[in-house]
Amino acid sequence: MKFFSPEKANALIPKLAPLVDELLTKRRDLAIKLLESDPALRVPPPSSIRSTRLAGLRSPFPTPRFGELKSEIVRLIHRIESFGCIVKDLDLGLLDFPSTRRGEPIYLCWKAGETRVLYWHALDEGFAERKNL
């Protein structure tokens, strides 16, 4: 496992921030596509309700699985983590960087939109327990 100083983690932010932004965009796109494809959320046009030719709201075609978009998300996660950090939350764009503080293992914590790593937390803590560096 690679350990980071705040300076080393901050040096990676310019490389990681665009990748995290892309990851957040693809994650949002996937969520939208999944919602749009949910038959329970579709409202049929009034004419199809009365039509006897239609078999109701169910389509004979399988719901798309969006495999390509999912693969792109996984690829981005692997690419981000290849720098040595850990993707912790896809919705918030949280990354943790393994580090040490006073000889104890910790995570340096960065969130998309922050200009640099400003926080840390213990290994058994999360975003809500972040502390200033």
Tell me the per-residue pLDDT of 91-132, one tens digit each, with 9 for 90 and over: 899 999 999 999 999 999 999 999 999 999 999 999 999 999
Q: Which residue has the tokens 């503080």?
A: 101
Is the pTM for the entire model greater than 0.85? no
Q: Pairing mode, if any, of strands 86-89 and 94-101?
A: antiparallel
Please report the pLDDT score of residue 32 as a whole number: 86
Residue 1 forms part of a structural domain: no
Its domain, for residue 114, covers 6-132
Among the ranges given (4-18, 46-60, 104-118), the one the predictor scored with the smallest mean pLDDT: 46-60
Mean pLDDT along residues 19-43: 84
Residue 24 forms part of a structural domain: yes
Residue 116 forms part of a structural domain: yes
Please report the pLDDT score of residue 42 as a whole number: 63
Number of domains in the chain: 1
Residue 106 forms part of a structural domain: yes
| Alpha carbon of residue 98 to chain centroid | 19
Whether residue 60 contacts residue 50, with contact meaning beta carbons closer than 8 Å, is answered with: no
Residue 43 forms part of a structural domain: yes
Mean pLDDT along residues 2-13: 97
Please report the pLDDT score of residue 46 as a whole number: 59
